[in-house]
Structure 1
Amino acid sequence: MTHPGTLVLIMAAAVLAPLLVYATGRRLRVPLVIFEIALGILIGPDVLGWAHTDEVTDTLADLGLSMLIFLAGYEIEFAAIRGDTLRRSLWAWLIALVAGIGLGLLISGGEAFKAFVIGTALTSTALGTVLPMLRDRGELKGRFGKVMTAFGAVGEFGPVVAMALLLSGRRPGESAALLAAFGVIAAAAVFWALRPRRPWFTRLTVRTLHSSGQFAVRFVMLLLACMLGLAEVFGLDVLLGAFAAGVLTRLVLHRAVPESSDEVLGKVEAMGFGFLVPLFYVVTGIEFDLDALLHDVAALLVVPLFLLLFVLVRGGPVYALAPRDLSTGDRLGLALFASTCLPLVAAITTIGVDQKLIGSNEAASLVGAAMLSVLVLPLLATRLRSADGGKGRPLPDREAGADTEAW
């Protein structure tokens, strides 16, 4: 069982992090996640040695990562991102995957599975980290926010699928068959979610929204548990189930209780961003192998190289294929936001280390570069967009409709 002091320290770090954001906000806008991870490193075994993770904290951290991916899936409005924007985002990710695996082969000396780990990590986007930043700035509903959601969704979903196919430990054909079976069940669930809900569902949601019953919140948690369990049964990464659960939840709530969906989501977000998600980031810091990074000069020197590769491999195709109606500053900002990564890099490298595909030094270098990406790239993206006049313009109806053509 977890030592009570460890959980107290983790939650103390989670509380201290937003205070530090507020204290430094006037001089430098540092993303909340950076303070959460940094505080985790500080209290972890490689610095102060106050906190050590165990099975309970690891389980809670896994739930936090699942909740982060779930909330990212919920934010996606497919009606607004399909069509040309979605095609561009798919091509940008596929090009990045080919380039990433090619570079991975060079870095690994031709070791295929190590190349898959490195290459897949280079293609990810921390949509669950970027979207709250855009929401806080009031840009999520603007043209830039819609485009970023499309490119980020593919950058979040694509690596999860790639992990299921390339890093599952099974033959690719078997993994593809299981993934296809999961997709069929998920499609059936989408069909179910689009059906009108019975009147009792709406009445019970409204009646228990401010009571101890909390029917809608419990229903959302059931959906999440079912999709996580389904992914586990098929031997796929549970993040795939979390993402699918977020999409399903949005469809159900917006069809069954549209007037209460925002309030239900607010309660789920409070559970996620108030407890589970910060716990995941703090535990990521605690488990970060700082000692391996600091005592291996080569691993430390590789960190800025990986950061550059995140921008070139992921951001390069995004910039090239960004919608042409975006300004140069918005396209640069889009590329940098899309290159911001961390949660999936941490998950991918953990799988790689567990399966002995990469060493702990290489994993620490990748995670260190991903942490720098969260610190540096959103700040740089915001400055470039501000200098170019991009301030989260609202999405006019004609632009919203431009991307809703059937593809």
Structure 2
Amino acid sequence: MSADFQAEPLSLILVPAAAVAAPLIADRLLRWIAVPTVVFEILLGVLIGPDGLAWVHVDGLVDAISQFGLAMLMFLAGYEIDFARLRGGPLKRAGAAWLVTLVVALGIGSLANHVPLDGAFAGLALTTTALGTILPILRDAGELPTPFGSLVMATGAVGEFAPIIAIAVLLSGNTPARSALILGVFAVITAVAVAFARRPRPGWVTRLIRRTLRTSGQFAVRTVILVLGTMVAAALWLDLDMLLGAFTAGIVAHLLLSGVPEAEEEVIEAKLEAIGFGFLVPVFFVVSGMKFDLDALLGDPGTLLLVPGFLLLFLAVRGAPAAFLAPAGLGRRDRGALGLYAATALPLVVVITTIEVDAGHLPSSTAAALVGAGMLSVLFFPLLAQRLRGDVRPPAAEGDRPRVNAESW
């Protein structure tokens, strides 16, 4: 095995063990408090990592799997988006709220750093929403098929996709003109992929999907993985972040499978979720915890005080515009819950701060405070949002699932 992919034997045990322990702990605590599993994945990663008990370090193999996990997280976030439900009001409102967030965040970042360009980079971390993280929470709470779920989905979709575009423009090191050209080329590639995905499938494709669905052939799953690899490769080839390719691949795959019979589509989705949430995504979050710079965070009381400050900024900069621009008919409690979901941030905060630290735009201690605030947002904001919303019944059995119309909002 190549030296770049040498693995510590203990990491091959402890990283999966942390992934297994996380839902067990979350389940045991459920009678007192509902904590997202991702929180325990990160905390257990910190515990076993270099700044915790130092049992394991991030080796080449585990880090590579973690990168696949991040790509799969973005893919599943894109796959969950149903633009037929989100078009119109929800998407327009979410876009307007994000633009307000962007202007305020870049302004705050510039003022805080006293260096406009570097501060703008730091401000990007305040514009994100962890759609991939809150999706399992919304699904488990039975929120996805509701009009409120459509609003959160639209807000989260913009909060994931728009910052990725901003990363490509501001953090790539390219000139604005070159960035616009590259994004234009990627948009053309995406349009071609979407047009192909929306074409009617020949009968033999449907038959092959059905015939291999429970055999070693797994034609549908292999095709989806090919789509993921192709879109990520296209993004990397154009010197864009792989997250843009992975997120777009999810959208394309959703369209590609839309013509598959419903029973087969549900099985394929279950297999994709098993690959993502059962294997790759937990590794990403555990490794994110292992990489967390706990020493830098705890070494300076001033840095530690930044954590609640950044947490409040997530609420003020990202959550408040989403809540304020919500539909007029939305109640105060639901409006507050929407703002809390919008302010939940973590994966892209990790990505943005990593890029900024590597480029010398951000001190490691400040990055740790931002990531720490992101972890607290994942821990507290969805819980508070669920409390504001109250009990939401899980979706009805297939065939009885209510149809919703969020477009009127």
Do they superpose with TM above 0.5?
yes
For residues 320-351 of structure 1, the C-alpha deviation after alignment (integer angstroms, 9 at most, x for no partner) is: 11112221111100000010010000011111
Q: Residue 290 of structure 2 aligns with which residue?
A: 286
Q: Residue 82 of structure 1 aligns with which residue?
A: 87
Structure 1 distance, partners of 2:178, 2:156, is 28
* Mapped pair 1:365 → 2:369: yes
Counterpart mapping for 1:368-387 below 5 A: 368-386=372-390
* Mapped pair 1:161 → 2:151: no
For residues 139-177 of structure 1, the C-alpha deviation after alignment (integer angstroms, 9 at most, x for no partner) is: 111111111101110000010000000000111211111
Q: Residue 232 of structure 2 aligns with which residue?
A: 228
Q: Give 1:216 deviation, angstroms.
A: 0.5
Q: Give 1:399 deviation, angstroms.
A: 3.3
* Mapped pair 1:126 → 2:126: no
Structure 2 distance, partners of 1:18, 1:397, is 31
Q: Residue 43 of structure 2 aligns with which residue?
A: 38
What is the aligned counterpart of 1:60 among 65, 68, 79? Answer: 65
* Mapped pair 1:314 → 2:318: yes
Q: Residue 191 of structure 2 aligns with which residue?
A: 187
Structure 2 distance, partners of 1:390, 1:59, is 38
Q: Give 1:111 deviation, angstroms.
A: 3.7
1:231–1:240: 8 Å Cα contact kept in structure 2?
yes
- CA RMSD across the alignment: 1.6
Tell me the amino acid that sits aligned with residue 98 of structure 1: V
* Mapped pair 1:20 → 2:25: yes
Q: Give 1:7 deviation, angstroms.
A: 1.9
Counterpart mapping for 1:171-186 below 5 A: 171-186=175-190
What is the aligned counterpart of 2:328 among 324, 329, 352? Answer: 324
Q: Residue 3 of structure 2 aligns with which residue?
A: none
Deviates more, 1:11-20 or 1:103-112: 103-112
Which structure 2 residue ranges, 5 or more long, are not aligned? 1-5
Which structure 1 residue ranges, 5 or more long, are not aligned? none
Structure 1 distance, partners of 2:29, 2:83, is 36
Q: Residue 341 of structure 2 aligns with which residue?
A: 337
1:127–1:152: 8 Å Cα contact kept in structure 2?
yes
Tell me the amino acid that sits aligned with residue 286 of structure 2: V
* Mapped pair 1:73 → 2:78: yes
1:209–1:216: 8 Å Cα contact kept in structure 2?
yes
Deviates more, 1:253-262 or 1:299-308: 253-262
What is the aligned counterpart of 2:210 among 195, 206, 223? Answer: 206
Aligned pair in 2 of structure 1 residues 300, 400: CA closer, same or farther (>3 Å)? Answer: closer
Tell me the amino acid that sits aligned with residue 58 of structure 2: T
2:89–2:407: 8 Å Cα contact kept in structure 1?
no
Structure 2 distance, partners of 1:116, 1:70, is 27
Structure 2 distance, partners of 1:24, 1:123, is 31
1:201–1:256: 8 Å Cα contact kept in structure 2?
no
* Mapped pair 1:100 → 2:105: yes
Secondary structure class of the residue paired with 1:344:
helix
Structure 2 distance, partners of 1:248, 1:233, is 19
What is the aligned counterpart of 2:408 among 385, 402, 406? Answer: 402
Secondary structure class of the residue paired with 1:254:
coil
For residues 95-130 of structure 1, the C-alpha deviation after alignment (integer angstroms, 9 at most, x for no partner) is: 100100000011111341x22222111010000111
Q: Residue 265 of structure 2 aligns with which residue?
A: 261
Percent of matched pairs sharing the same residue: 52
Tell me the amino acid that sits aligned with residue 156 of structure 1: E
Q: Residue 109 of structure 1 aligns with which residue?
A: 114
Tell me the amino acid that sits aligned with residue 193 of structure 1: A
Give structure 1 regions of 4+ aligned residues with deviation exceeding 2 angstroms.
256-259, 389-403
Q: TM-score, normalised by structure 2?
A: 0.95
Q: How many equivalent residue pairs?
A: 400
Q: Give 1:390 deviation, angstroms.
A: 6.8
Q: TM-score, normalised by structure 1?
A: 0.95
Structure 2 distance, partners of 1:280, 1:294, is 23
Q: Residue 350 of structure 2 aligns with which residue?
A: 346
For residues 164-218 of structure 1, the C-alpha deviation after alignment (integer angstroms, 9 at most, x for no partner) is: 0000011121111101110111011111111001111111110000001111111
What is the aligned counterpart of 2:154 among 150, 153, 174? Answer: 150
1:122–1:309: 8 Å Cα contact kept in structure 2?
yes
What is the aligned counterpart of 2:223 among 219, 222, 234? Answer: 219
Q: Give 1:138 deviation, angstroms.
A: 1.1
What is the aligned counterpart of 1:274 among 273, 278, 282? Answer: 278
Structure 2 distance, partners of 1:250, 1:379, is 29
Aligned pair in 2 of structure 1 residues 85, 103: CA closer, same or farther (>3 Å)? Answer: same
Q: Give 1:402 deviation, angstroms.
A: 2.4
Secondary structure class of the residue paired with 1:225:
helix
2:45–2:289: 8 Å Cα contact kept in structure 1?
yes
Tell me the amino acid that sits aligned with residue 310 of structure 1: F
For residues 64-99 of structure 1, the C-alpha deviation after alignment (integer angstroms, 9 at most, x for no partner) is: 011011001000010111112111100000110010
Q: Give 1:393 deviation, angstroms.
A: 9.5
1:144–1:392: 8 Å Cα contact kept in structure 2?
no
Q: Give 1:249 deviation, angstroms.
A: 0.5
1:96–1:317: 8 Å Cα contact kept in structure 2?
yes
Secondary structure class of the residue paired with 2:10:
helix
Aligned pair in 2 of structure 1 residues 398, 238: CA closer, same or farther (>3 Å)? Answer: closer
Structure 2 distance, partners of 1:115, 1:192, is 41
Structure 1 distance, partners of 2:367, 2:404, is 45
Q: Give 1:256 deviation, angstroms.
A: 3.7
